[in-house]
Amino acid sequence: MMSIYKHSLGHIHGSLFLLFFLHLLLISITNAKPQTVAKQKSSLNHSVSAVFVFGDSTSDPGNNNYIGTPFKSNFPPYGKDFTNQVPTGRFSNGLLANDFIARYVGVKEYVPPYLDPTLTIEDLMTGVSFASAGSGFDPLTPAISNVISLTKQLEYFKEYESRIRAEIGEKRTKELIRNALFLVSAGTNDFVVNYFTFPIRRKSYSIPGYTEFLLKQIQQFMQGLWDEGARKIGVASLPPMGCLPIVITLYSDNAIQHRDCIGYFSLVAESYNAMLQNELKAMQFSKASFGARIGYLDIYGPLIEMIIGRRFGFEELNSGCCGTGLLEATFMCNPKSSVCPDASKYVFWDSIHPTERTYSICSKSFQPTIDFITKD
């Protein structure tokens, strides 16, 4: 496998300048509260008190609206299919997977951003997202994009606990946390934005070594959640990174005519996912007697089924709905961008992020794991 990595890195490094230029472009450039939407009923009686979310743009419902970063999406056409077409800061045309999961376990209709100053104590008590678009497990990743690190997200969670404790007391707060569902989704930016774009980590780590480094960061983060009382935790895999439209655009031999997935990047994701799955199984085994329910949320498999297996009837598999679909994301997908008439026919909303329909399908595939994590 190392020979495959070395052979592929030559081509990848030759394309780094383009990705580096794009990233510099991205970092050179009013959040409204969404209306209620219909609840999705769960097949089980989940005893979940709240949903707490950590990670990157796959789970950020608008925290980046409140910080000084260009990585925002609180403007059209983002939110095109959200209730009242509100661009909340979610990097999609509508809901994210964690919104569908919150409905499935019967807690709330959508998961709001923790940094939203208009949230009531009732909003807070049933869960919030601390995620920040552009973040990652590697501390260098959020520093590149000036977004909220996983360490800071954990600090915000501790602040959250203090706020809730002041309202309902120590005993009820501990019970709320113990019965809450914790969701973690990050890692793609560590590879696509950080490792493959900037030379800092490549000088110190091979890809297997960097994967090990990330797993240690995940261990530390998970231990931090555990120390705060988290017991029901789901951690998302990496997607098939070689199938992201922006990766195809940057690394294909002919980005217009040859838009197949770039196998090398997906191989990296497969290797990472296997190691992550083993790590989570080990955590579950070691902590099971203490009430742990730790699960692996596979997003790689469903996306491969959609894109390679051509399941679920999507018509556009390798470009986004916004603009050309080849490079547009964040401010490059803006009110002046053309938009496809029906995003539900697209796997991707922009050049990086899935559509609401894709998130819905993925969230349904998570349900057996969510059942395991949350069952009494």
pLDDT in tens, the chain (376 residues): 444 444 444 444 444 444 444 444 444 333 333 333 334 444 444 689 999 999 999 999 999 999 999 999 999 999 999 999 999 999 999 999 999 999 999 999 999 999 999 999 999 999 999 999 999 999 999 999 999 999 999 999 999 999 999 999 999 999 999 999 999 999 999 999 999 999 999 999 999 999 999 999 999 999 999 999 999 999 999 999 999 999 999 999 888 888 999 999 999 999 999 999 999 999 999 999 999 999 999 999 999 999 999 999 999 999 999 999 999 999 999 999 999 999 999 999 999 999 999 999 999 999 999 999 998 7
Q: Is 11 a catalytic residue?
A: no
Alpha helices by DSSP H, listed for 194-262, are: 199-204, 207-227, 245-251
Q: Is 60 a catalytic residue?
A: no
Residue 11 tokens, joined: 């081509």
Q: Report CA-CA distances (Å) from 332 to 17, 196, 235, 237, 325.
A: 19, 21, 30, 27, 10
What pLDDT does residue 16 have?
43
H or E element: which one contains 366?
helix 356-374
What does the DSSP 8-state code read for residue 134? T
3-state secondary structure of 297: strand
Instruction: Decide: 318 and 255 in contact? Cβ < 8 Å.
Output: no
Kindly report the backbone phi and psi dihedral angles of residue 249, in degrees, each rounded to the nearest multiple of 5, phi listed first: -60, -45
3-state secondary structure of 314: coil
* Furthest C-alpha separation in the chain: 61
Beta strands per DSSP E along 173-309: 181-185, 232-236, 293-297
What pLDDT does residue 46 have?
64
Evaluate the omega torsion of the peptide bond into residue 112 and state whether it is cis, within 30 degrees of 0: no
What does the DSSP 8-state code read for residue 93? S
pTM flag (> 0.95): no
What does the DSSP 8-state code read for residue 129? B
What pLDDT does residue 22 have?
47
What is the Cα–Cα distance from 212 to 109, expressed in whole angstroms? 36
Q: What angle do CA 134, 350, 369 make, to 5 degrees?
A: 70
Q: Which residues pair with 348 in a beta bridge?
A: 320, 354
What pLDDT does residue 340 have?
98
Q: Is 350 a catalytic residue?
A: yes
Residue 191 tokens, joined: 């590879």
- Length of the chain, please? 376
- In the set 8, 42, 57, 59, the catalytic residue is 57
- In the set 135, 185, 353, 363, the catalytic residue is 353
